[in-house]
Structure 1
């Protein structure tokens, strides 16, 4: 009786194992099939390749090759067309320039504007045809600037050394000054030369007028005295 029960138990275990194996195999097959849906193998049939090659050859056969003479004609025609277009554009531009030049009014020469002098100027000294004149004065950057003109209408040229320029105020005090732009020599019958004489404003607090005195160098036979140059700070004047 014990033997029969052992055999029965063994058979039951075998049946369960077979059932579990079959069930797992079925589930694996089902999952694999669902995963491979939409995947296809490449078509390796020779007939398909032949058909694709035939279609490619048909497309290439549709292309027509031009002859060399026709290509040269086309290129020449395009070049000539561009050249004609450029020429026509240039002619149009020339016509426009001609029209614009005709339409422009003739420019009138600018009139020479005379320098507007301050009241009391110029202050001039003359000796032997040589003139020294102060055209204007103004204060700028801590200096008094005197605009000076010199000209020689005499028979001989005259040389100057501006370290000999004497500047005095209306109280007889000597003032330090520097020059800029004045010529070292005035030629005979030459043009007028312009320059500047600068005086520090710290020396002019109570000064109303100053004087300049200059002699030629080295002979010192010619003396130019420009006196009573107004330098007071008057509103609207300096």
Structure 2
């Protein structure tokens, strides 16, 4: 009786183990099948490979084989473009060199018109030269009083116009506010921004005494180019 019980228990345990193994295998198969959804086996057929190579993947451009004649033509066009650019750069460089080489002679020709002198009641205004420094045109000027009375000037009333009659902003530096009657020459500069000189070839300058305005010093045809 005891032996029969042992055999029965053993059979029950074997059945339970087989049942658990079967359930576990089915559950694993179901999980694997769910995970592999959407995954297909590669098609190894030769005809299918040829078809796949002909198709272009979405979002990519097809490979285009250029003709040798087109490549040569493109290279020649680029060479011609670079040649034209190099030629243009050489022309610009040559033009700049010519400009630099002409600057001294042009300056000499311009300064050959100087000094420009204006006199009134014993007072002399002399414009000696004109030169450009960066963005400013500088007039080298001098004042001299050979009269018998001192003369006062207020240089904010200095009037400068171009050959078109346009008034220009200008400032004077180094000139005395009162010019003594001793015949001594006092030098200074009149500064004009080059930004206001567009299209101007010549300038006119007028200076009067202050506050009486009894004398008038006026110069014209001051070359600036």
State TM-score, norm by structure 2. 0.51
Q: Which digits, 9 at most, give the CA deviation of each residue in 1:46-67, with x for residues without a partner? A: xxxxxxxxxxxxxxxxxxxxxx
Name the counterpart of 2:201: 208
Runs (4 or more) in structure 1 with deviation over 2 Å come to none
Name the counterpart of 1:223: 216
Name the counterpart of 2:155: 162
Name the counterpart of 1:141: 134
Matches of 1:118 and 1:174 in 2, distance apart? 23
Q: Which digits, 9 at most, give the CA deviation of each residue in 1:76-110, with x for residues without a partner? A: xxxxxxxxxxxxxxxxxxxxxxxxxxxxxxxxxxx
Structure 2, unmatched stretches of 5+, are 1-107
Matches of 2:111 and 2:206 in 1, distance apart? 22
**1:155, distance to aligned residue in structure 2 (A):** 1.4
- The residue correspondences of 1:1-238 to structure 2 (distance < 5 A) are 118-232=111-225
Matches of 1:140 and 1:153 in 2, distance apart? 32
SS at match of 1:163: helix
Q: Which digits, 9 at most, give the CA deviation of each residue in 1:18-70, with x for residues without a partner? A: xxxxxxxxxxxxxxxxxxxxxxxxxxxxxxxxxxxxxxxxxxxxxxxxxxxxx
Q: Which digits, 9 at most, give the CA deviation of each residue in 1:1-25, with x for residues without a partner? A: xxxxxxxxxxxxxxxxxxxxxxxxx
Structure 1, unmatched stretches of 5+, are 1-115, 233-238
Number of aligned residue pairs: 117
**1:189, distance to aligned residue in structure 2 (A):** 2.1
**1:204, distance to aligned residue in structure 2 (A):** 1.0
State TM-score, norm by structure 1. 0.48
